Amino acid sequence: MVHCTNQSKRTNETALRLWLMSPSVAFQGEMGAYSEEAAHVHFGQADVRPFRTLRKVFDAVESKAVDYGIVPAENSIEGIVNQTYDLLLESPLKIRGEVKIRIEHCLLALPSTELRNIHVAYSHPQALAQCSRFLESNGIDAAPAYDTAGSAKMIHEKQLRGAAAIASERAAQVHELMVLQRDLGDYPENFTRFFVIGWDDARATGQDKTSIVFGTPHTPGSLHRALGELALRQVNLMKIESRPVRTTPWEYHFFVDIAGHRSDGSCAEALDSLRKATTFLKVLGSYPAAV
């Protein structure tokens, strides 16, 4: 008996040491959110801390209240998360990692609830849009909320009968709900890419990406000339998105992902040349490419 007690004590002490050594990671939403899942996929053991907005996640990392943040960057169906890219442009933080996870939306409700009794579903507007066929075919009204897991938390706290949340299966476990139906999405191949943000770049691994943002002169061919600097050096352009310049109507910033680490020879040369062909250039970070 003494041996078992001592063994249990050692196990608890080991778990506590691992927890204390774990990085603290901010994410947007409530426990059970897809962002929390992405944090555990990337870091494994982590001290995850929920924040209500993406800006507060950036603020927490910038103030060093946490070690890192994890923020959604783009969804394979809905496209980029505009606010994340706008915050990256403003922030001194760097992208130091990326995570891709499959999104499997579930319909969650209080225990003993039946699907035929559900009249309204709460979730983030994007999740509701991705499950529109299911909702329409079952005569369920969509009610927008700020977060998927936050909707599950609300259903539990308010003990809402006749209502459900669209969120992850983990959110059901965290907020003591039952899963009425899995995989509600209109499209099964639904993935979200998340950025890990911090104060420093990740080290080069040989399988890296670099994310940048730049502006070009408002003249014919300026974007073509800028991207030509990459082509001349055989640097692979992996992604390009435009976002409006908020202070100047009808002008745009270009967010670009390229293959390679900013410290690599050809990548570094391309960035130096690109600076001369643009009105400004900011390196958002270099990081290992997710599989």
Q: Tell me: the pLDDT tens digits for 55-83?
A: 999 999 999 999 999 999 999 999 999 99
Query: Given 3-state DSSP classes, what are the helix, strand and coil percentages for the chain, each rounded to the nearest 5?
Result: 35, 30, 35
Residue 134 annotated among the catalytic residues of the structure: no
Q: Tell me whether strands 141-144 and 120-123 are parallel, antiparallel or unpaired.
A: parallel
| 248 has pLDDT over 50 | yes
Taking the C-alpha atoms of residue 103 and residue 126, their distance in angstroms, rounded to an integer, is 12
Q: Which of 43, 58, 134, 194 is catalytic?
A: 194
Phi, psi of 204 (to 5 degrees): -65, 140
How would residue 20 be classed by pLDDT, with cut points 50, 70 and 90?
low
Q: Which of 84, 113, 148, 192 is catalytic?
A: 192
Token code pair at residue 201: 């770049």
pLDDT at site 14: 46
Taking the C-alpha atoms of residue 268 and residue 230, their distance in angstroms, rounded to an integer, is 10
Residue 192 annotated among the catalytic residues of the structure: yes
Number of helices (H), then strands (E), belonging to the chain: the values are: 10, 15
Neighbours of 126 (CB within 10 A): 18
pLDDT at site 161: 93
Phi, psi of 174 (to 5 degrees): -65, -40
Residue (of 103, 153, 110) closest to 128 by Cα position: 103
Assess contact for 153 and 175: CB atoms under 8 A.
Answer: yes
What does the chain come to in residues? 291
For the chain, give the mean pLDDT. Answer: 92
How would residue 13 be classed by pLDDT, with cut points 50, 70 and 90?
low
pLDDT one-digit tens code per residue, 124-169: 999 999 999 999 999 999 999 989 999 999 999 999 999 999 999 9
pLDDT one-digit tens code per residue, 176-189: 999 999 999 999 89
How would residue 251 be classed by pLDDT, with cut points 50, 70 and 90?
confident
**Average confidence (pLDDT) over 16-20:** 48
How would residue 17 be classed by pLDDT, with cut points 50, 70 and 90?
very low
Domains of the chain, CATH where assigned:
23-102+191-198 (3.40.190.10), 106-181 (3.40.190.10), 208-282 (3.30.70.260)
How would residue 218 be classed by pLDDT, with cut points 50, 70 and 90?
confident
